[in-house]
Structure 1
Amino acid sequence: MIAAPTTRGSTEISDPDPRLYNADLAPTSVEDRTWGTYNYIALWFSMSMEVTTYMLAAGLIAGGMNWWQAVLTILLGNLIVLIPMLLNAHAGAKYGIPFPVIVRAPFGPRGANVPALLRAIVACGWFGIQCWIGGGAIAAMVGVLAPSTAGSQPILWACFLGFWLLNMIVVYRGVESIRHLQSFSAPFMAIMSLALLAFLYHRAGGLGPMLAAPSQFHTTRSFLAFFLPALTGMVGYWATLSLNIPDFTRYAKSQDAQIFGQAFGLPVAMTLYASLGIACTSASAVVFGHPIWSPVELLGKFHQPVVAFFALIGLLVATLNVNIGANVVGPSNDFANLAPSRISFRTGGLITGVLGLAIMPWKLMSSSSNFTSWLVGYSGLLGPVAGIMVADYFLLRHRRLSLDDLYRRNGAYEYSSGINPRALIALVAGVALALVGLVVPALHWLYSGAWFVGFFVSAGVYLALMTSVGATSTLQQSLELERP
């Protein structure tokens, strides 16, 4: 299961401000907390077994790594992102509240719109990317049925817009309309990938030749120059969900359920499925003379049209499934947070779709280097938000929040007219330092580690500002209100 269930009931909030409250943002009730360890393992396997995971791993091979360097990079990146994932998940499981509500504590009820929008815009980009991949799969299926259309740009664009429209229909009708497909999509993707691997295994002449391609990096310096942004890209891949993971853990039966489920599910699922992408891309270099990082292009090289057709259908279903679950649930809540009385979950999903087009995913997916640059670039926006959230919840508030005050004005988190300027200063400092390498070549190394730089700089600046003399009295008052 991928999409978070619709809230049936909620924990009662005393006199909430209608500008900050609706049924989708309300705390979950006891009857809604039904997710156990298995559900979180299944969540990660479902979200990991999809096309962009394959392409993420394939991009490492296309960039010059050998197979074991790529596997270790993926494993390390996912172990690193697991840390903020679990830390930010804690408040969701404890209080039953989603990301845009939790982030009101450090940023204020109005200031929270800034990080929520940053996260939402990135998710819109992912939504567009998945639509482009799905459109490509449809175009490839058309090419199998009518070979004369293969490579036709008008056909590709028509398929892309058609798949985008299908996503919009599903959003409008509600995520329940594809729930019956969710239990089949991940296994279907696994079967497709294994079939592709078997095909390439046969064509390459065994596993040895498939993995025999050497690293293209001949010095430690050249390897590190590729490794650091690649590692940042691995972390950035789940940087969005490391923020809005409370949207899912708010349904957890217990902290242990989400902790153990995620600690196993995320690194294992990502490493296993990414390894298939690594093996297939390595083999494609042997079979076709160059690494092919797109599974849609690779499937088009099957000589058995029926096999290729059904594999592309599986890819299409899985892409639709993941797109709705991973790229609609979060931004829909974020947009709803802007005006809860006017923007529903459905409306937020439609906004996501429109912005997904505006971000021009076809440019982001034009090459593996563009894809990696996209991952690294937006990680510099989201790493600072994660740093501030972790510093605020664990180091300043010691895992205590005033639930009622998160849904009202003039409460514990009012700060200055609903905005915490110290959090915004910390956010700007982290983003600026993380992205300065884009315009200052001598500092490009900061950009290569954008998520890490932004996370630690923003966390440090936020703690320093919140514990300064001028902020002590306001912080102390909020902490008094938060005591159980």
Structure 2
Amino acid sequence: MEPSVPPHAPDRGTNHLVEESILPTWLTQRPISLLGFVWIWVGLAVVIVTFQYGANGVEGGVTLPVVMLIVLTATMTLAVIMSLTADIGTEHGLSFAVYLRAPFGVVGTHLPSVSRGLVAAAWFGIQTYLGALAINGLVEYWTGFSSWPLWYAVFLAVQVVNVALGIKAVERLASIAAPCILAISLWMYYTLDGIAELEGRNIWTFAGGGDTPLAALFIINMAVWAPVAVDIPNITRFVATVPGARGFLSRNRNVLVAQFVVLPVMQAWIAFIGAVSLIVTGHWNPIDVIQQESTGVVLGVLLVMIVLAQWSTNTAANVVPATLNLVNAAAPWLSYRMGVVVTGVVATATAPWLLLDNLFTFLGYYGGFIAAIAGIMVADYHVIRRRRVNVPHLFRSDGQYRYTRGVNPAALIAWVTASVTALFALDYAYVIGFPIAFAVYLVLMRVWILPRFPQAELTPPDPDAFLATSTGRSWVHDPETGGFDLVRSEDLADRATAREDI
């Protein structure tokens, strides 16, 4: 053991900043391999809105090759931001909401993190509703019985149990669902392409009568993944990495392969399927297309695969982030497993069957405030702190991240300013929110907050004092003293390894 930051005494009484599931993960507690993370991203890519904006593009007068190019470049652009925030999980093993205590304060973190949690819960509800429709279509075809609310409740309960079993269960599901997702998309392509040939349609030159601005199509693609881009540390804190990897690329190798290759390619492919579906059948929703173009066993198999696709997307992209954000807000009284249940309740309360009818309006409204959070995170982690974080103080209500009564006014001002400004141009909310929040936060921190509230990691006793993975160490919490040690990988086996992984 080699502590570089002395352990601190715990807060008197109940420490509302500590709960088992939001403590930093150790280097030995990261079970997701490169292939596992790839499967997770294949599953994540099947979001219903991806089918829709592919269809909207061709309907709006954009040819299919241009739609695919826009989707590919937009996703790769967002992957840059996503990779910068992902390092928070890779380097320190921190969840999104816990890290936000650094820029927003130990109390202020609840405003952006709970807001993001509500968006994740709403998406959980939408994906569950779509899965329920697929189950209902299958049951109705074979039995004549129809009741999507019943299947919604059943599907919701199954997903809650799956996520409550832990991150490894999420990875296992993804490894099963991802091949199914690829199989569905291939079936849809070959079926639809055959119909197009019979009818003499050229899917590559088709363009509707609309006039969709290319810039708006580019930005809405970014907005879809904006929430995951900010809370990706919730997943990357479990992705295997190389202890002692100093370089950003080597430390985040598994993350970068999945986010710069798998996600953009899958997004472009799914948008392609949505566009071709609209061109050939007049429907972009894969459930409608499958029910229209298949029967018998094929229909059953495809609808089961659709259910698996929604399930896989939900677990990593929606349920885990929403749960960890809620746990952060209600620690230590709300455990991880109870948080999963609460997330299911909140998801249903958002009335996802109504949100789905107003999906692009929903995307526009949250795009700006989510982008603002990303701008603040990147400015704080990479520019101000240079990847160094005083992790022990993230779990202290009287530490350096208390700021003014637990709130950093610089972060709140930057967040509100950027979010409100973005509302005046919803189609471009993401590209407005990010730079404004980034710039305002940096200025306010340097001229106002940092002179008043010193941050230990800005003047470290040695360059490695506040780094973890890149120095081959992990932040380890001692439940008896409430303190933290930086422990080398070879010494982790001597610690309390009985601690549960979430």
Q: What range describes the TM-score normalised by the shorter chain of this pair?
A: 0.7 to 0.9
Q: Secondary structure at the match of 1:45?
A: helix
Please state if 1:320 is matched with 2:311. Answer: yes
Q: Secondary structure at the match of 1:405?
A: helix
How far is the alpha carbon of 1:43 from its aligned partner?
Answer: 2.8
Q: Secondary structure at the match of 2:70?
A: helix
Residues 430-469 of structure 1 mapped to structure 2, 5 A cutoff: 430-435=418-423, 437=424, 446-469=425-448
How far is the alpha carbon of 1:303 from its aligned partner?
Answer: 4.0
- Per-residue Cα deviation, 1:112-134 (whole angstroms, up to 9, x for no partner): 11111111011011101111110
Q: Secondary structure at the match of 2:116?
A: helix
2:51 to 46, 51, 54: 54
Please state if 1:111 is matched with 2:108. Answer: yes
1:261 to 232, 235, 254: 254
How far is the alpha carbon of 1:230 from its aligned partner?
Answer: 2.6
Q: Which amino acid aligns with 1:474?
A: F
Q: Which amino acid aligns with 2:9?
A: D
How far is the alpha carbon of 1:327 from its aligned partner?
Answer: 1.1
- In structure 2, do the counterparts of structure 1 residues 283 and 242 end up closer, same or farther at CA, with 3 Å as the change threshold? closer
**Contact 1:54 1:274 survives alignment (8 Å):** no
CA distance in 1 between partners of 2:253 and 2:334 (Å) = 35
**Contact 1:141 1:309 survives alignment (8 Å):** yes
Stretches (4+) displaced over 6 A: none
Q: Secondary structure at the match of 1:447?
A: helix
2:220 to 204, 208, 233: 233
CA distance in 1 between partners of 2:9 and 2:223 (Å) = 38
Q: Which amino acid aligns with 1:265?
A: A
Q: Which amino acid aligns with 1:323?
A: N
Higher relative contact order (CA 8 A, sep 6+): 2
1:298 to 277, 283, 289: 289
**Contact 2:18 2:332 survives alignment (8 Å):** yes
Q: Which amino acid aligns with 1:15?
A: A
CA distance in 2 between partners of 1:241 and 1:171 (Å) = 17
2:350 to 344, 359, 379: 359
**Contact 1:75 1:267 survives alignment (8 Å):** no
- In structure 2, do the counterparts of structure 1 residues 469 and 326 end up closer, same or farther at CA, with 3 Å as the change threshold? closer
1:200 to 192, 198, 221: 192
CA distance in 2 between partners of 1:478 and 1:417 (Å) = 21
CA distance in 1 between partners of 2:402 and 2:170 (Å) = 40
**Contact 2:60 2:212 survives alignment (8 Å):** no
Match of 2:327 in 1: 336
Residues 8-407 of structure 1 mapped to structure 2, 5 A cutoff: 14-17=8-11, 18-49=15-46, 51-146=48-143, 155-171=147-163, 180-205=172-197, 209-216=201-208, 222-224=211-213, 227-251=214-238, 252-254=240-242, 255-256=248-249, 259-288=252-281, 290=282, 292-366=283-357, 370-407=358-395
How far is the alpha carbon of 1:84 from its aligned partner?
Answer: 1.4
1:422 to 395, 399, 410: 410
Deviates more, 1:128-137 or 1:156-165: 156-165
Deviates more, 1:242-251 or 1:455-464: 242-251
Q: Which amino acid aligns with 1:453?
A: I
How far is the alpha carbon of 1:262 from its aligned partner?
Answer: 3.3
How far is the alpha carbon of 1:336 from its aligned partner?
Answer: 0.8
- Per-residue Cα deviation, 1:35-87 (whole angstroms, up to 9, x for no partner): 44444333322322455543443343344432112111211211121111111
**Contact 1:53 1:273 survives alignment (8 Å):** no
Deviates more, 1:463-472 or 1:384-393: 463-472
Q: Which amino acid aligns with 1:461?
A: V
CA distance in 2 between partners of 1:258 and 1:123 (Å) = 28
CA distance in 1 between partners of 2:331 and 2:250 (Å) = 30
Q: Which amino acid aligns with 1:69?
A: V
Q: Extract unaligned runs of 5+ from structure 2.
A: 243-247, 466-502
**Contact 2:79 2:259 survives alignment (8 Å):** yes
CA distance in 2 between partners of 1:405 and 1:352 (Å) = 28
How far is the alpha carbon of 1:267 from its aligned partner?
Answer: 4.2
**Contact 2:40 2:175 survives alignment (8 Å):** no
- Per-residue Cα deviation, 1:217-242 (whole angstroms, up to 9, x for no partner): 67xxx442xx3333222112111111
Give the number of equivalent residue pairs: 450
Q: Which amino acid aligns with 1:230?
A: L
CA distance in 2 between partners of 1:398 and 1:338 (Å) = 27
**Contact 1:61 1:278 survives alignment (8 Å):** no
CA distance in 2 between partners of 1:101 and 1:355 (Å) = 21
How far is the alpha carbon of 1:258 from its aligned partner?
Answer: 6.0
**Contact 1:402 1:482 survives alignment (8 Å):** no
CA distance in 2 between partners of 1:144 and 1:175 (Å) = 35
How far is the alpha carbon of 1:334 from its aligned partner?
Answer: 0.7
Sequence identity of aligned pairs in percent? 28
- In structure 2, do the counterparts of structure 1 residues 362 and 257 end up closer, same or farther at CA, with 3 Å as the change threshold? farther
Deviates more, 1:197-206 or 1:465-474: 465-474
Deviates more, 1:129-138 or 1:349-358: 349-358
CA distance in 1 between partners of 2:48 and 2:260 (Å) = 17
How far is the alpha carbon of 1:428 from its aligned partner?
Answer: 0.6
- In structure 2, do the counterparts of structure 1 residues 317 and 111 end up closer, same or farther at CA, with 3 Å as the change threshold? same
Match of 2:483 in 1: none
**Contact 1:127 1:323 survives alignment (8 Å):** yes
How far is the alpha carbon of 1:294 from its aligned partner?
Answer: 0.4
Q: TM-score, normalised by structure 1?
A: 0.85
Match of 2:398 in 1: 410
CA distance in 1 between partners of 2:382 and 2:200 (Å) = 48
How far is the alpha carbon of 1:372 from its aligned partner?
Answer: 2.4
Q: What is the root-mean-square deviation in Å for CA atoms of aligned residues?
A: 2.7
Q: Secondary structure at the match of 2:256?
A: helix
How far is the alpha carbon of 1:194 from its aligned partner?
Answer: 0.8
Deviates more, 1:75-84 or 1:472-481: 472-481
Deviates more, 1:326-335 or 1:229-238: 229-238
Q: Secondary structure at the match of 2:388?
A: coil
CA distance in 2 between partners of 1:426 and 1:195 (Å) = 47
